[in-house]
Structure 1
Amino acid sequence: MNFRQLDLNLLRVLVAIHRTRSVTAAGKALALSQPATSNALARLREFFGDDLFVRSPVGLQPTRLCEQLAPAMQSQLLAMESLVLNHQPFEALSSQRHWRLSLSDLGEILFLPGLAAALRSESPQASLSNISVDAAQVASALEARDIDIAIGILKPQHRGIRSQLLFKERYMAISSQDWSPTPRGRGNTLSLAQLAQARFVVVSPTATFHGSVEKMLTAMKLQDRILVRPRHFGAIAVLAQSTDLLCIVPEMYARDLSQRLQLQMWTIEDAPVYEVNLVWHASTDQEADQQWMRGAVKRLFSRA
């Protein structure tokens, strides 16, 4: 085994397959074709004299040697990438950077327009993608540089993950102008007794950052009052306008819809407060481009 004969680009393939447990997924992450990724794996197997990965019903499983190599290699690759990027000046106006964010379905509605407008104004040649990442996998995606930042109800406790509070919110209800609580009350705060007489719409996205809505209603013993569970927030406005249902959504979205569509907005008595955080990996702390993007997010959305 002669280290000088090893193409270091192959190590990126090893790390990607180890992370995704799939040759196809690793190729997509690295912008390589499936044959090119398979060829790289074959060269790695020949160099190390080991299978490195074996097939299983749940994807490729690393061998003992691979489990020793891949985590250490990923750490070294991140360190080298950070070292290189730290010495490159960042000019937002001329940058062609492709930013990769992780936002929930609602986060895309609330944050993407503002971020896109900021890019068009301050970094017009840059582009932006919202990458679908399950909330439980955000820390791994940040570490692997699959995404640059994440915004949401996130509190990853993994080593090397940084977070900063953007704002605190609570859940509120919106309804049509014709809806009124039973029994009738004064003001726009709904009591537990009034909520117990209503029927709810609660969004249940698959990769959710908002599962706590159902937790809140369960704690209030109102989970059986949920009548409609759409997968996306896009249906909320029509449901609120055209039915007698209460739609329970985060405050920021409730205010936006009530102002634009003349819906009623209701405060929920004793609704818990939650935190919306900006999350990133510590390895990007000193990178000028990442600092710029984090600064833009905080400037646009921070109310902490």
Structure 2
Amino acid sequence: MLIFIMPTGHSMDLNLVRTFVAVHETRNLTLAAARLYVSQPAVSQALAKLRRALGDPLFERTGRTMEPTPLARSVYPGFRDSLVAIDRALDAVHTFDPRTSDHRFRVAMSELGEIGYFPALFSAVRTEAPGVSVDVVPLDLDRLPGWLGRGTVDLAVTSLPLTGSFEHEVLKSEGYVALMGHGHPLARHDVGLSGYLQAHYAVVSGDSGRPTLEAALRRLGAAITPAVTVNHFASLPPLLATRDDLIATVPVSIATGWAASWPLTLRELPFELVGAEVSLLRRTTAQHAAALDWFHRTVLRALRGEPGEFSAIGAPPPPGTVPRS
């Protein structure tokens, strides 16, 4: 039995500390039990011991969740940080070995992130860890703080800031351009402000850069009304290539990739638009610290400065073309 010495000088079974941290992070006894590989009654029994030791209910059931009491919230950071330190000390003896690991990681990414960055991410991970698995979770910005705070996902790639204090590393800064088909009138010369504002726009419903664009236009006393709104970025290249009356405002790397295989032209915007910083965020939970350290380090190395392979959304071959065997 490992004993954890609390700041007060009192000792506590380390497994009780693990149980407390797991319940605090998952807010659910069943999920905490699954994380700890024990039964739910075992978690309940551990909580009962903790409550007696600390003289506080610690968690109160609200609907389907276990909400921490003020005391539980106050001791959680110290318990979590101490647990991480202990686990890393133990990992120094029993080192996480990516070559033999069968760990499964989860990373939250947008549709574009999955298209542009995930191939490089997965290649880097599997090169070092052939038995490791990676699941992509669709990015939900409203739920992401909770996911990172409770360990639902290990990492996230996003261009929007989140509420809460999460460790993050900037992968790259991304500017924007206007993208249109070769036959669009604006494709023949630089795009002026009046021409841009009078154009018909195609937008993506979940585009994380749209609020930044709308804010820049408001500063100019202008706004745009989309002519068409699509659900997926993959819909834009064929739509713009076949319509000479639509434009879209998209990140430079994406526009460049698409223009390599579609009949599309990109032009500089006629106003200043602050580029988006694409960042890698890391969960704050304590479990599997050494595995998370390795995964974070590997993904950061693979994606930092990576322009993204967005030409993967390529144009179909001309009619009559024989596919390569």
Q: TM-score, normalised by structure 1?
A: 0.74
Distance in 1 between residues matched to 2:94 and 2:44, nearest whole Å: 31
- The reply on whether 1:177 has 2:179 as its aligned counterpart is no
- 8 Å Cα contact 2:30/2:40 also seen in 1: yes
- 8 Å Cα contact 2:203/2:229 also seen in 1: yes
Distance in 2 between residues matched to 1:273 and 1:151, nearest whole Å: 16
- 1:223 paired residue number: 223
- 8 Å Cα contact 1:175/1:240 also seen in 2: yes
- 1:259 paired residue number: 260
Deviations 1:81-117 (A, max 9, x none): 3333355556554443433323223211210122223
SS of equivalent to 1:260:
coil
Quick one: which amino acid aligns to residue 193 of structure 1? S
Say which of 76, 82, 90 aligns to 2:88: 82
- 1:101 paired residue number: 107
Distance in 2 between residues matched to 1:141 and 1:260, nearest whole Å: 37
Distance in 2 between residues matched to 1:95 and 1:7, nearest whole Å: 28
Distance in 2 between residues matched to 1:251 and 1:108, nearest whole Å: 17
- 1:239 paired residue number: 239
- 2:43 paired residue number: 40
Distance in 2 between residues matched to 1:12 and 1:77, nearest whole Å: 7
Any stretches of 5+ residues in structure 2 without a counterpart?
A: 5-10, 309-325
- 1:276 paired residue number: 278
Quick one: which amino acid aligns to residue 98 of structure 1? R
Distance in 1 between residues matched to 2:199 and 2:30, nearest whole Å: 48
- 8 Å Cα contact 2:201/2:248 also seen in 1: yes
- 1:151 paired residue number: 157
What pairs with 1:1-304 in structure 2 (closer than 5 Å)?
8-23=14-29, 26=32, 30=35, 36-37=39-40, 40-41=43-44, 43-45=46-48, 47-49=50-52, 50-56=56-62, 59-89=65-95, 92-132=98-138, 134-135=140-141, 145-154=151-160, 161-163=167-169, 165-181=170-186, 186=189, 189-205=190-206, 208=208, 211-243=211-243, 244-270=245-271, 271-280=273-282, 287=293, 290-298=296-304, 300=306
Q: Residues 209, 171 of structure 1: CA spacing in aligned structure 2 closer, same or farther, 3 A cutoff?
A: closer
Distance in 1 between residues matched to 2:211 and 2:196, nearest whole Å: 19
SS of equivalent to 1:246:
strand
Q: Residues 124, 42 of structure 1: CA spacing in aligned structure 2 closer, same or farther, 3 A cutoff?
A: same
Q: CA RMSD in A?
A: 4.0
Distance in 2 between residues matched to 1:169 and 1:83, nearest whole Å: 39
- 8 Å Cα contact 2:172/2:306 also seen in 1: no
